[in-house]
Amino acid sequence: NAGVTQTPKFQVLKTGQSMTLQCAQDMNHNSMYWYRQDPGMGLRLIYYSASEGTTDKGEVPNGYNVSRLNKREFSLRLESAAPSQTSVYFCASVSGGSNYGYTFGSGTRLTVV
C-alpha cells in the first residue's frame, strides 16, 4: 500500500517548455487535489477532482490543466511553463464521506528558469 505516489520528485524546465506531473493513489479514494506550496503562502489549491470524471478549478488555476484519467490517477499539466510556476507541487487524496483527512504525496519540486 503505497498511498499517494507523485512523479517526478524534481524537475527543471526552461520557460515555455511543457510537462505533466503524475499522481496516483491506491487507497480507492474518490477525491484528488493538486496544491502548490510557496514560501510564506501555505498551500494553495490549483485544481481538484471530487470524483472520477469531474474536475474543477481551485484558487490558482491559471497556466495549468488537469486530467482525472481514472479513479487512481490525476495528472497536472503545465502547457507553457513560466518562472512564476516555480514551486513545490503536492497531490492529495481523500476518501470522502465522513472521512475528510487528506493523504499527501511526497511532492514535486519544480524550477522554471
Partner 1 sequence: GENVEQHPSTLSVQEGDSAVIKCTYSDSASNYFPWYKQELGKRPQLIIDIRSNVGEKKDQRIAVTLNKTAKHFSLHITETQPEDSAVYFCAASARGGGNKLTFGTGTQLKVEL
For binding to partner 1 (CB under 8 A), which residues are involved? 31, 33, 35, 40-45, 48-50, 56, 58-59, 90, 94, 96, 100-102, 104-107
CB closer to partner 1 out of 18 and 106 = 106
CB of 93 to partner 1, least distance (A): 10
CB of 17 or CB of 86, closer to partner 1? 86
- C-alpha 42/C-alpha 71 separation (Å) is 27
C-alpha cell at 56: 474543477
For residues 14 and 101, which CB has a smaller minimum distance to partner 1 in the complex? Answer: 101
The answer to whether the CB of 100 falls within 8 A of the CB of 38 is: no
- Contacts for 80 with CB less than 8 Å, ≥ 6 apart: 16, 17, 18, 63
Provide the minimum distance between the beta carbon of 41 and partner 1 in the complex, in angstroms, as a whole number: 6
Phi, psi of 83 (to 5 degrees): -55, -30
